[in-house]
A and B are shown apart, each in its own frame.
Chain A
Amino acid sequence: MLGLNKADLRLFLIVIAMLVFAPILLNPFPDTSGMAQFNAGYPDLMQKLVIFGIFAIGFNILFGLTGYLSFGHAAFLGIGSYTGVWMMKLLTMNVIPALIASVVVAGAVSLLIGYVSLRRSGIYFSILTLAFAQMFYSLAYSVLTPITGGESGLSLSTDDPRIFGVQATDGGNIPVPTVFGLDMSHAVTLDFGAWSFTISTGYYFAAIIMALAFYLAVRIFRSPFGLMLRAVKSNQNRMNYTGLNPRPYTLAAFVISGMYAGLAGGLMVAMDPLAGAERMLWTASGEVVLMTILGGAGTLIGPILGAGLIKYLESIVSTINDSVVHGWFAPLPDWLENTLVTVLHPFIGKGWHLTLGLVFVLVVCFLPGGIVEGGKKLGNLFRRKRSNGDAPTPGTGSTTAEQPGE
């Protein structure tokens, strides 16, 4: 179905189910309980999970398939964001033209950067992309201030032309991004006993885009083109000797991943119409590398999981402060409580990077294939147990091995 084989279809359906039920799945704790701190089912975070999922899926097409490690993809994300805001300033608050323009402009710029950078491979390629990204960052941060808003970021105002829309609402305020009349920020809270779930337009819009982006990525992975990209990764020399020029393939992969990044950037401003230069910083480029590796480079679902884990840690751990931790350990004796708080202190609040670092070290040391490998190992463990007890079921263990994309 949909041109997917059985395993891919199952994976696609799982992703869709996850997207549809995310507002419920991510809010497992009742609002009033102390664990509500760990709920992730609010629009801002869910949108981020999805948007960075798209970003990571695209990055994985380049890094996971061809092995080219780009350290400059945040530049395309930023370009997508600036383009999106400009479209909303000039044309209309409908986000569709903004998204299309984001993808197109990011694609054009990545063609340019890719053309130059892909003349080298390995570390030199990484350095070139990093250099380009930093150039774009400084352009956005100071040189092009009239276009990008500099440090304050590019935001909408009531003076914008907005040819196909209103300059200001009836109340004199700046209009909000919409998709054919539906407010992106519109949200309905469903109270369900002690639980409450927020259903927001923005999230589901982003989720639909992500489902499409994921489907496209699966098709690319399984296409002859995807096979060529894998060939680039496994042995470029051999590919050359067979008379194939790898450069057009890598450039195409680079541009596709740049367009994915542009789409993610466009979505970011569709959710919150302000584009800051920080999202182009090299740390942001490094973050998407972390997401992909953490989830499992070269796998289909890995980057999404990695992006989810990092954004979850960032949003949740960074808001835990000492008084919250004191609350958790309140029943313990004072000396124990204070010791535990002192031990945890560096890992919470602004120290969330430390927590992320630890997780990253653990994953790379013990699960070099990322979260996906961890999942597989767990799955195999249970399968083996079951098959030991019941009749042997030959072949079950090998299906995953044949499907490098799962």
Chain B
Amino acid sequence: MKIYKLSMVFITMCASLLFVQCSDDDDNVLGLQTCNDGIQNGTETGVDCGGSCEPCAEETSIDFSGTFMQEDIMGRPGINTVFSGTDEVKNNFNSTTVTNRADFTSIFENTLETYHDVYAESLGLDPEDVNYVPNILGLDATTFATVLSQFDALQVAPNAQTTYFDSSTGVALTGRNIDDDVIDISLILMFGGGDINNLNFDGTNGLPLLISDSVGFGDRQVGDFPYLETPN
């Protein structure tokens, strides 16, 4: 998948051969990078320029000036689209920082309960009797809404298993892999209740299937960098 510039590799190899002949200096090959040796090495982004050397001529003329204002923002998948509910709230969410979301907590909690009420009504049940149940993370509705609204970032654990939720290891909230089924995980947290071995709304006992959309990663594959596949 990766396309290396072979000529660059060749030049770099030739350069390193020059250095290894001086056996005493083997450990200092990188240290021998200079900004006037006629080759691109070390941290240089061009021949004898960029990186720790002077900027390359072509790049000094590039204009990176200006002030940029936030138009969209995303931490965890689906938060704004699923919980904000109205166009106005969605727009507001996208133009706020993560630390300025206190006003969204009650909105998100309302949405969570409204989902349950919509289904209760369509089933002919009293919405009062069909409510969010603290989920498998042990979060009540207000706390769940708080986590979603005010801590909306992916938690990413370095040097540990990264996963949105791995039912086989129980590890949760340490990252998001491309093939993590974030929809099913989100649905389980919203509708499944607190017993992972006996989840609510699993399509049995006359109740709807609300904890899985029944689609998976399909025939996609996760390769090496850049990890996402060649486009269709």
A associates with B: no
A residues at B contact (CB < 8 Å): none
